[in-house]
Structures are given as structure tokens and as C-alpha cells.
Amino acid sequence: MSADYKLADYFLKRKTFFFVLIILINIIVYFPSFSHLPRSDQDFFFVETAETQGLGDLISQTYSYNRTRVFGQGDQILFRPLLFGLLSVEKWLFGYHFIFWQIFSIGLHLIVIWHLLKILLKIFPNGFAIIISLGFSVLHVSQELVIWQHLNGYLIALICLLKALYEFIEYIEGGWQERRKVWMVAMWLILMSLFYEFGLICAFLFAMSVSLRLPWQSNLPAGQGGAKRRSNLSYDKRLLRPIGLAMTKETGILFLPIAIYLAWSVSDYIYRVDALFSAAQTISWLFVLKSFVKIFCIAWIGPFIPYLLNYEVYERLYMGIFDKNILAYSSFGNCLLVVNMALIVALAVMANRLKSVQVEFTTQNQVGDYRRVISVVSFLMGIGYIAMITLGRVTQRGEWYFQYQSYHYYPIILLFLLSAYSALSLWGHQLKGFIERNFIVILIISGGFIILNGVKNFQLNEQVRVHSEHFAHKQIVDWDIYYRMKKNAVLGTMAAEKGDYVLALEHYGKALHISPQFSEVYLNRGVVHDQLKQYDDALGDFSQAIILDPGSSLAFFNRGIVYANTGQVDLALGDYSAALQLEPKLYTALNNRALVYERMGRFDLALADYHQAIALNSKFIPAYLNRASLYIKQKDFDLAMEDIHRILAMDPDNAQAKQRRDLINAYRSKMNNGVIPSTNDVYETK
């Protein structure tokens, strides 16, 4: 027996040992995530439940969270009672000990990997299944689902899906006859749907698979239900012969998850939202197709290009693909980028060698067991998932939105992996022989991709950890106080956005009474005071924000606005300059500082700031308006008209641009007698 055969056999016989190794590798890769803090929607969840403690109260407040939430409202059509029930249980158990949230998340991830490995070994038992499971467990492209604890319910939904798939495989193995297995599939899909609505698509596809079982059975041996079933047409009296669709009791059972979910969700929606349907939304089908193709391609190539992907850490992880940042790695990163490219070439060579096996085997192939069903169904589930998020999320919010939703690649890649593995397993002994003959080469190539994904995964986790620690160092109160304070602060901001400044001041006052150590609250309250022209109070709040956070460019910027509004131009100039020193790309501060320079008669410096502001944001209309006004003062009407034409190209109804255009035309028509009135300065507030 060759070394390749021995090594492949060694992997297969010691699968438990290797799964323990998978666990240890995942602990290392995800270790920095134990220090991650809440982000985005999870942060809003803690704000929403800041004053709710008991488990019963938490669940009753949040089980229909998308329809009852006060903070970060949206997505009312979604209904995920078990997902938000799980978050409530986690908060009740773990509180604000975020390390336990992350341990639980990684534990769920490993359960997904265990069930994936179990299915792969059942479909086609060989050592490569262990390598695939390890590779999927450390993928860089989809890692956010593992490190964003807010979506632990998604992981449980995928566990339910894998359990349903396993039961479905056994149902097919039994000749499509054991109805108890169908009930088990339906049970897991009901649970899945209540965690994540993708379960509805899965239930539909399972039901269609059963309805189309006669075509699936057409190539089965008689002992596996083939010939026996083909002759038993009395069982399928409702067979729709043109499409081969059989509506049976099993089909009805598999439609139960859809019926239960829709009945509960629609009744809850009518009760809570007091409406059945939202306004229809216009869909650009070209945009949908473009987004679909992009997501589909990334799902297939993403696992092989970890060093051609780049994530930036914001409230969520923003994914860039083939962007300029991939050329900004350190020397070590650049070496790994070269290794990544070399492995892609090696993979292409190995795939080319695999063609000979395919050509040799297609003449002998006799397809027909459950692997063909699982391959097609898993692929359609992946397609269905992409269609769901493309039509429901990307179309609604724009293509940029999906770059903040990289966690969706986790289930998509999982389903495509199952589909590809099942399809390849149909080659049977020929494929197994190919793997065993080339196992060492396959192991080296696969190991290379696993290491690259693991390293990039670890680096991103470390980056998020540093980001979290930077915030934690500013945290000087416990998390319970922080979230009670933040709840009132956000209520104040919501009131201010509605123009209810009195209520806003009341909420900001409550927030500062709970904890007076947060500069952002003073900053936001100062803006409200400024809107009410309570300049002394505004100056006091902005100054206190600067004392608490000397690095706050916005505090300096807003205090500069108050100084400018009260005629203290020297102080305003100093604050705008301080803001720009802290944040050089703050183009609004450049615009406002230019106005101060104008008031001081320093037109050359004003023009320089307008030029720079426009260079930073070519669509920033206030800078064009103010620069046009300055050109008019200097009687440089050609340049002024250029700015006005740019503004009207962006905003054809802009009244201030039209006013400046009319002034120039009036002056030109009365060259000597026309008087150019002064124009209004356009300040930018933030």
C-alpha cells in the first residue's frame, strides 16, 4: 500500500482525534474574539433591554423584536421569535460578560462543523472530509457569523438544517418509505424557521424533492425502492404527469413549517404593526441580477482568496474585494499574498488532472442514490439563499449593504460545499482512488489554503480585539450603567431628530444624571442648545466634551460653530484648526474655516480651504456655493459660474445656486450700473 493510501486511511480511522484537533485549531484562530465587545445590532439589543432583567420579561419584550423595538427600527416583516428568545436567555445567563457570549458562539460553530463532518462521511467516507470540515471551520470570508454573537440563532438554524438533511438522507436510504423520518425533517425545519426564515425555502425544497421522488427513483436498484416504487402508481394517484410532481402525505408534512411560520408571523404582524402589507417597492431586475452573480461568484472563490479580501472594522465588518488595501500589507502579509496566488495555480493544475477521472468515469456512471438528491437540493438551497438576500436586503438597501453582511457567506458556502461534495462523490471508487493516489499533494494544497484562511482569520479577530480594547479603555463605568445611560442618550437623539428639542434635553439630562463621564452626550446636548440659540449652554457642553475627550474633532468643530455664530472669529478659527489637526479629512470644518477666513479678509486662505474641501468631497454643495460667493466678491464671474453649473448638475432645484446665477447675469447685463448684493454664507453643521 502506498504512502498516500496509508495516510488517507489514517485520517479516516481517527476522525474523532482529528475533530478534537479541529476544536483546538478553532480555539487558537478565534482566541482574540474572546475580547470582542458588542457591535451594531447587538449593541442596540442591549440598549433596548437595558432596564429589563427577568427572563420572562426579556422574552416577552423581545420575541417579536423586529416589530416592537424602539431603537434601530426596521425589518418589521421579519419574524424570528426563537432567535431573539435565545438572545434573551443569553443575556439572562451571561449578562454583560461578553467572553461567555463568544464561547457559546464558537461552541455552536463547532457543533455545525461536527454535523457537517458527519454528513460528509456518510455521503462519501474518506479522509478528505476531515480536511474540508477543518477548512470550512476557519474560513476568512464568512467568519463574522462566528464572531458576531448577535446572530448565534443563525448557527442554531444551520444546526437544525444539517440535522434535517441527515434525516432526509436516511429517509431516501430507506427507499422513501419511512414516514417517521419525514416528521423528523419537518420538526427540525419548524425550529429552523423560527430561528431564521430561510427555513421556509428549505422546507419548500425538501417538499418538492419528495414530490419529485419518482424521477429520483428512476435509476435506483430495485432493492432500494426503485422498481417497486415505479410500479406502485396507485400510491401517487395525484401524480401531475406533465412535470412528474406527486402530491403525497409526506409533501404535506414538509409544508407544515411554512404553514406554522406564516400563520404565527402574519397574525403577529397584523396585531403589532396594524397592517398586512407594506408599500410595494420598485425593483431593478438588472441590479438584482448583478448582485446575485457577484454574491454567487464570491461564495465559490472566496475560500481560495483570503489575501485578496480585506475587511475594515466599523460597527460591522466591511469587506473589500481586490481593492487597493491588498497592496498595503506588511512584508509578512505580502509573502502570504504570493503564497495565496501560488496555491491558486497549484489548485488549477490539480483540477486539470481531475478531468481525466471525470472523462474516464462518465462512460461507466450509473447514478441514482441519495447523493444526487442532496447535491441538487443543497445547490438549490444555496441559490435560494442568495435570491432571498438579494431580493429582500440588497435591493432594499443597495449593493453596499451586502459588503457589511459577510456573515451570509457562511450558510451559502456551507450549502455549496455539501452540493459539490455530493456531486463529486457520484464518481465513487474512481474519485476515491484519485484522492488516495494524490492524497499528499491534496493535503499540501488544502493545508496551504487552511493556513492562509486561519492566519487571516486570526489577524482580523486581533484587529477587532484592538478596536474593542480601544473602546473598553474609555469605559469607566460598568456595563449596566453604560447601557442605561446610552438608552436615555439615544432617546434624546431620536427626539432631537424629530425636532422635539425640549424632550431631547430632558433625555440627555437623565443620561448625564446616570453617568456624567461620556463626552458624546455633552456633544449631542450642545448641538441641541445651539439649535435653540442657547449659546452659553452650548459652549459649556462642548467644552466639557473636550475636557472628557480631547481627541474629539466634532467637539472642537461644533464649538467653533458657536464661536462663529457669536462673532468670536479668532476662537472659531482656533477650534476649526484643532478639529482639522485631529481629523484632516473633515471637509465640513474646512468649509467653515474658509468662511471665517473670508470674514477676516484672508481670501487666499479661504479659497485654499474651499479647494481642499471640494477635493475631499466633490459632491459637497456648501463648499461650491461659498466658493462661488467668494468669486463673485472678487468679480471673477467665469469661475463663479463654473461652480454654479456644477451645483445645478447635482441639484437642479438648488435655490441658492440659482440666486447666485441671477446675480451674475444681472451684473453682466448692467456692467457699470449693476450692484451685486452680498450672498448668504453656507455653514455646515454636524
pLDDT digits (tens, 9 = 90+) for 287-299: 778 888 888 988 9
Grid cell in block for residue 596: 471665517
Q: Summarize the confidence of residues 252-272 as an average pLDDT.
A: 89
Grid cell in block for residue 331: 512584508
Task: Tell me how far apart the alpha carbons of residues 135 and 449 are, in angstroms, rounded to a whole number.
Answer: 8
Grid cell in block for residue 103: 464561547
Residues 468-496 have pLDDT tens digits of 887 777 666 789 999 999 999 999 999 99
Residues 6+ apart with CB under 8 A from 461: 29, 30, 31, 32, 33, 36, 143, 147
The answer as to whether 325 is a domain residue is yes
Residue whose C-alpha cell reads 414516514 in the numeric block: 179
Total domains in the chain come to 2
Going by C-alpha positions, the residue among 9, 14, 159 that lies closest to residue 83 is 159
Going by C-alpha positions, the residue among 33, 9, 95 that lies closest to residue 459 is 33
Measured CA angle at 241 (ends 237, 244), to 5 deg: 100
Q: Are residues 108 and 214 in the same domain?
A: yes
The answer as to whether 677 is a domain residue is no
Q: Are residues 525 and 605 in the same domain?
A: yes
Q: Are residues 363 and 507 in the same domain?
A: no
Task: Tell me how far apart the alpha carbons of residues 592 and 361 are, in angstroms, rounded to a whole number.
Answer: 73
- Would you place residue 282 in the very low, low, confident or very high pLDDT band (cuts 50, 70, 90)? low
CB 42 within 8 A of CB 56: no
- Look at residue 319 and give its three-state secondary structure: strand
Number of H helices, E strands in the chain: 35, 2
DSSP string across 12-81: HHTHHHHHHHHHHHHHHHTGGGGGPPP-THHHHHHHHTTT--SHHHHHHHHTTHHHH-SSS---TT---H
Task: Tell me how far apart the alpha carbons of residues 459 and 29 are, in angstroms, rounded to a whole number.
Answer: 9
Residues, the chain: 686
The answer as to whether 675 is a domain residue is no
The answer as to whether 685 is a domain residue is no
Amino acid at 68: T
The answer as to whether 679 is a domain residue is no
Amino acid at 611: H
Task: Tell me how far apart the alpha carbons of residues 483 and 490 are, in angstroms, rounded to a whole number.
Answer: 10
Task: Tell me how far apart the alpha carbons of residues 455 and 489 are, in angstroms, rounded to a whole number.
Answer: 39
Task: Tell me how far apart the alpha carbons of residues 652 and 657 are, in angstroms, rounded to a whole number.
Answer: 9
Amino acid at 387: A
The answer as to whether 473 is a domain residue is no
Q: Are residues 448 and 506 in the same domain?
A: no
Q: Are residues 433 and 485 in the same domain?
A: no
Q: Are residues 510 and 637 in the same domain?
A: yes
In sign, the C-alpha dihedral spanning 242, 248, 254, 257 is positive
- Look at residue 298 and give its three-state secondary structure: helix
- Rounded to two decimals, the pTM is 0.83
pLDDT at 197 over 60: yes
Measured CA angle at 70 (ends 531, 400), to 5 deg: 80
Calculate what percentage of the chain has a pLDDT beyond 90: 51
Count of CB atoms situated within 10 Å of the CB of 48: 20
The answer as to whether 676 is a domain residue is no
Count of CB atoms situated within 10 Å of the CB of 431: 19
Q: φ and ψ at 443, to 5 degrees?
A: -65, -40
Burial class (CB in 10 A: 0-12, 13-18, 19+), 617: middle
- Look at residue 148 and give its three-state secondary structure: coil
Q: Summarize the confidence of residues 554-575 as an average pLDDT.
A: 94
CATH number assigned to the domain comprising residue 615 = 1.25.40.10
Amino acid at 200: L
Going by C-alpha positions, the residue among 34, 157, 147 that lies closest to residue 99 is 34
Q: Are residues 408 and 549 in the same domain?
A: no
Of 21-25, 358-362, 379-383, 439-443, the least confident? 358-362
Measured CA angle at 73 (ends 189, 497), to 5 deg: 175
Residue whose C-alpha cell reads 417538499 in the numeric block: 207
- Would you place residue 680 in the very low, low, confident or very high pLDDT band (cuts 50, 70, 90)? low
- Look at residue 639 and give its three-state secondary structure: helix
Going by C-alpha positions, the residue among 389, 443, 340 that lies closest to residue 127 is 443
Q: Which of 418, 449, 468 is the last residue of a domain?
A: 468
Q: Are residues 452 and 503 in the same domain?
A: no
Q: Are residues 359 and 219 in the same domain?
A: yes
Measured CA angle at 175 (ends 170, 181), to 5 deg: 40
Going by C-alpha positions, the residue among 425, 416, 411 that lies closest to residue 376 is 416
Calculate what percentage of the chain has a pLDDT beyond 70: 81
Q: Are residues 458 and 488 in the same domain?
A: no
Structural domain boundaries, residue 446: 3-468
Q: Summarize the confidence of residues 540-569 as an average pLDDT.
A: 94
Q: Summarize the confidence of residues 454-468 as an average pLDDT.
A: 90
Q: Which of 421, 445, 468 is the last residue of a domain?
A: 468
Task: Tell me how far apart the alpha carbons of residues 471 and 573 are, in angstroms, rounded to a whole number.
Answer: 30
Task: Tell me how far apart the alpha carbons of residues 103 and 114 are, in angstroms, rounded to a whole number.
Answer: 16
Q: What share of the chain is helix, strand, coil (3-state, %, to 5)?
A: 75, 0, 25
Going by C-alpha positions, the residue among 247, 227, 222 that lies closest to residue 236 is 247
Residues 622-664 have pLDDT tens digits of 999 999 999 988 888 889 999 999 999 999 999 998 988 888 8
pLDDT at 259 over 70: yes
Q: Which of 468, 502, 528 is the last residue of a domain?
A: 468
pLDDT at 220 over 90: no
Q: Rg of the chain over CA atoms, in angstroms? A: 31
Task: Tell me how far apart the alpha carbons of residues 429 and 24 are, in angstroms, rounded to a whole number.
Answer: 32
Residue whose C-alpha cell reads 434525516 in the numeric block: 167
CB 686 within 8 A of CB 651: no
Q: Residue 129: what pLDDT?
A: 87
Q: Residue 400: what pLDDT?
A: 57
Residue bearing the bigger pLDDT, 14 or 457? 457
Residues 55-102 have pLDDT tens digits of 999 999 888 888 888 887 777 788 999 999 999 999 999 999 999 999
Q: Are residues 445 and 490 in the same domain?
A: no
The answer as to whether 684 is a domain residue is no
- Would you place residue 119 in the very low, low, confident or very high pLDDT band (cuts 50, 70, 90)? very high
Mean confidence (pLDDT) of the chain:
83
CB 607 within 8 A of CB 630: yes
Residues 6+ apart with CB under 8 A from 422: 123, 124, 371, 372, 374, 375, 378
Going by C-alpha positions, the residue among 476, 484, 461 that lies closest to residue 50 is 484
Q: Are residues 504 and 357 in the same domain?
A: no
